[in-house]
Amino acid sequence: MHKASAVLALALAAIALASCSAPDSTLIPSWRIAYGDSPDRAGPSFDDSGWQTFEAPAVVPVPEADSWFWARSTVSFDGAGPFWLLSGKTGVACQVFVDGVLVGERGSLPPKPLIRPGVTDAWLVPSILVEDGNAVVAIRAYARGTSAGFPGFRVGDREAADFELHTAQLLNLQVYVVLAVLCLFLGVYFVWQFKSRPQDRFNLWYAISLMLISLYFYELGTERFIPVSLVFKAFAKLSLTASVGFLILFFAEFFRIHSGRVLKFLVGADIAVFLGLFLANSGDETNLMDMFSLSLLPVFAAIFFGVYVVARAAILRKRDAVPILVGLAVGIGFGIHDIVYQVGGTEPMAWLQGFTFFSLDMSVFVAMSSRAARASNEVEAFARETAERRDRLGAVVDAAGRVAGEVSSMARELETRAGELARTAEASHAEASAIELEADRQREAVAGAAGSVVEMALSSERVDAELVREAERLAGALDAVGLIISGTAMVSGELSTAAKLSECLARRVDEGVRDVASLGASIAKVRAASKEIGDVVESVNDFAERTNLLAMNASIEAAHAGAAGRGFSVIANEIKKLAQASADRAARIGEMASSIDVLVSDGAEAAVKVEEGLGRIAADSDDAVGRIKGVAAAALKQRELADGASEVLGTFSGSSRGMREQTAAQAGYSRLVRDSMGALEQGAGKVKSAGSRIVSGVGTLASQAIGLRDLATRSSAIATELEGIVASRADVDGSFESLESE
């Protein structure tokens, strides 16, 4: 509100300055005019009685464009002097003669004519020319149109001349040059803003409007460095219409009200139509200025449309509309000033039409600056909130670091235990294979012994039936008994070896069961750690989503800020990238945690299966050991019986009766040995089957141990990567600190 009051006060001051009266001067009212050019018309004795007369101020008709005319008047110079001739805003280039003496020029004459209607000139009249109080003032004028503005020459003193040469030219020329440079600078600035953010197209419309109005201001205010062709003047006048058109496009798109193709088409059509009209009339300055007056109609229509758009934006509670409304009100006030003087037919000290459009442009600049300031405050608040969130994120990352260290330690321990289990499984596999081979040899030996026992039983029966006839075969029986003793001793030795291997296998299986139990405990710890990692990942994802939302809001506000929000848009984009990176890393950690959980679940199931398999192996091993010990005892007993049989056969030749009794006993023992051999053969088969199961189970245990070791290696790699993510916190902190410093 205070800014609006200050702007209104400045506007009223400008209007008051433009409306103030110049120091007193005397108008030269009556003139005579003749067309054509002749040097002798400058002399005081030239007869101009036949010329046409007119009263100044007036618009003098000219027969054709680019033609000469002369105007003469007899002037009374009353007073002490010195005297100055004041040109006013005459619309012609001319030379001024006093009693035939050239006292000054206005503009430049052909071959390079230049007429500056806004320039006021003052020439000192030599006192020698007005000693008698009267002198003839002759004007040699050149007009580029079919009419020429002739507001009237005046006679004044030094004060009036200083006012015309300094104050009037400041308001009518130099101010417009300053405005042209300022608008051009702002136009370049907003072009750069559009290049930085192409999506904010309203920056482009505003930049084009400023550059066009700077051309119009330059043509109004410059005295030098300007093309003399009327084509340049046509483009300069057209630039006012085009500038207002692009300003309307800016209003519509900035406030997003009626920013459609129809409005763009109307603005483009207006510019195209008046471009054709201006170029078609660029040969006659009078017609060119008439076209300019006509072009003011769509300009005023565009201004009223702008008032409607901005007023509607203000109704919609868009704060940026308030300063623009103030600028429109000030501009309309400047326009009313010019309209009042134009309707009254008088010439103000300065026309304020340029200030009308400049006030519009400056109000837009103030609105955009206000938006940028608000965006700056919002970004600062966002930066503070981001710093707080960064601290909370640091705590979460520290916790994740501790979890990562514990997971890494557990993974290394798991890897060590898995390696030991794999080595134990490999050793067990080798021993089980040896047991299986020994069982095969035992079964073959038992099969041979069983055959021998059967044969011995048959022989005993034949001895019992035909003892006399079989006496000569006693030596063969003794040999058979020796073979039985030898086979029994071999079976006994093999069974002892099998018993020792079975006991060793049982001890290995017990160790495997304990290792698998320890492995299950480690897997439970890893699963708990993976769940904690999941909780941390959820916290990081929540923070990343909220940070991403805040960055998006900051980007939207920076986009609304336009030029001044460029730096804050970069900050918002960097924060958004950091949030996205945090989300990606959190997603990666979540995937790793899920993978760890799945692998740990598989490892737990495998460990349970291994433990069950080892339990079964332990049970089978105990059973096999018992059976092997029973068979060994039977084999030992068989050996003792075989020794007794040998003694009996040694004394057989001494007593036939005793021999038959012993033979009968031997037959009974043979049946017992045969039954024992059958049991022993069955036990050897079971030992082989148990050995095969042990080999298969130990092989499975070895493969599972290798898989568990691979799982431990992968868990260690994941823990290492998690530690790397935690270690990257320093980089994240550095990025936040750099953003805060910006």
Q: What tens digit of pLDDT does each residue of 411-447 get?
A: 666 667 666 656 765 666 666 566 667 656 656 655 6
Q: Please name the amino acid found at residue 65.
A: A
- Residue 594's pLDDT is what? 72
Check: CB of residue 580 under 8 Å from CB of residue 601.
Answer: no
Which pLDDT does position 279 carry in this prediction?
92
Q: Using DSSP, state whether 509 is helix, strand or coil.
A: helix
Measured CA to CA in angstroms, residue 121 lies from 141, 154, 166, 285, 635 at distances of: 15, 11, 10, 21, 148
In this prediction, residue 576 has a pLDDT band, given cuts at 50, 70 and 90, of confident
The C-alpha atoms of residue 583 and residue 589 are separated, in whole angstroms, by 10
DSSP-derived letter for residue 92 is: S
Q: Whole-model pTM?
A: 0.52
| Average pLDDT rounded to a whole number, residues 503-516 | 66
Q: Closest by alpha carbon to 193, among 458, 608, 563?
A: 563
Question: Is the pLDDT reported for residue 235 higher than 80?
Answer: yes
Least confident of 54-58, 162-166, 304-308, 489-493: 489-493
Mean pLDDT (whole number) for 172-200: 88
Question: Higher confidence at residue 711 or residue 98?
Answer: 98
Of 11-15, 372-376, 611-615, 714-718, minimum mean pLDDT range = 11-15
The string of pLDDT tens digits covering residues 270-315 is 999 999 999 999 888 888 888 988 998 888 888 888 888 888 888 8
How far is it, in rounded angstroms, from Cα 97 to Cα 143?
18
Query: For residues 79 and 83, what is the distance between their CA atoms, to the nearest angstrom?
Result: 9
What gap in Å lies between CA 456 and CA 663, rounded to an integer? 11
Distance CA 397, CA 537 (A): 10
Q: Which residues contact 633 (CB under 8 A, 6 or more apart)?
A: none
Percentages of the chain per state (helix, strand, coil), in multiples of 5:
75, 10, 15
Distance CA 649, CA 659 (A): 7
Of residues 663, 649, 675, the one with CA closest to residue 453: 675
Amino acid present at 330: V
Structure tokens at 269: 């059509």
Residue 184 pLDDT > 70: yes
Query: Using an 8 Å Cβ cutoff, are 620 and 668 in contact?
Result: no
Q: Where are the beta strands (DSSP E) in 36-92?
A: 52-55, 58-61, 67-76, 83-86
The CA distance from 542 to 553, in Å, is: 17
More confident residue, 731 or 696: 696
Residue appearing with tokens 């201006």 = 278
What is the pLDDT confidence band of residue 18, given thresholds at 50, 70 and 90?
very low
pLDDT tens digits for 637-684?
656 655 655 564 555 445 455 555 655 655 565 565 456 556 555 655
**pLDDT number for residue 327:** 78
Round to whole Å and give the CA distance between 306 and 398.
Answer: 58
From CA 375, how far away is CA 482, in angstroms rounded?
Answer: 112
Question: What are the pLDDT digits (tens) for 44-78?
Answer: 999 999 999 999 888 889 988 889 999 999 999 88
Distance between CA atoms of residues 532 and 133, nearest Å: 110
All domains in the chain, ordered by first residue: 25-156 (2.60.120.260), 171-351 (no CATH), 380-741 (1.10.287.950)
Q: What is the 3-state secondary structure (H, E, C) of 428-452?
A: HHHHHHHHHHHHHHHHHHHHHHHHH
168 with 350: CB under 8 angstroms?
yes
pLDDT score, position 144 = 87
Quote the radius of gyration of the chain (alpha carbons, Å): 59
Section 245-254 average pLDDT: 90
Q: What is the pLDDT of residue 523?
A: 63
Q: What average pLDDT score do residues 352-363 get?
A: 75
Q: What is the per-residue pLDDT across 109-141, written as a single tens digit (0 to 9) for each?
A: 888 888 777 778 899 999 888 888 899 999 999
Q: How far apart, in whole angstroms, are the C-alpha atoms of residue 423 and residue 425?
A: 5
Strand order from edge to edge, sheet including 30-35? 52-55, 30-35, 67-76, 134-143, 93-98, 101-106
Q: 103-137 burial, b for 16+ CB within 10 Å, e for fewer?
A: bbebbebeeebbbbbbbbbbbebbeebbeeeebbb
pLDDT tens per residue across span 439-477: 566 566 556 555 554 565 565 566 456 555 655 665 565
Q: How far apart are CA 481 and CA 452, in angstroms?
A: 9
Res 17: pLDDT: 47
- For residue 425, which phi and psi values (nearest 5 degrees)? -65, -40
**Which is higher by pLDDT, 522 or 220?**
220
Instruction: Give residue 173's pLDDT.
Output: 80
Q: Which residues pair with 138 in a beta bridge?
A: 72, 97
C-beta separation of 547 from 579 below 8 A:
yes
Q: Comparing 517 with 98, which gets the higher pLDDT?
A: 98
How large is the angle between the packed helices 566-651 and 729-741, nearest 10 degrees?
180
Confidence bin at 341 (pLDDT 50/70/90) = low
pLDDT of residue 50: 92
Phi, psi of 596 (to 5 degrees): -60, -40
Percent of the chain with pLDDT over 90: 15
pLDDT of amino acid 131: 83
- Whether the per-residue pLDDT at 337 is higher than 50: the answer is yes
Distance (Å, rounded) from C-alpha 652 to C-alpha 473? 12
d(CA 505, CA 501): 6
Question: Could you give the CA distance from residue 491 to residue 445 in angstroms, rounded to a whole number?
Answer: 7
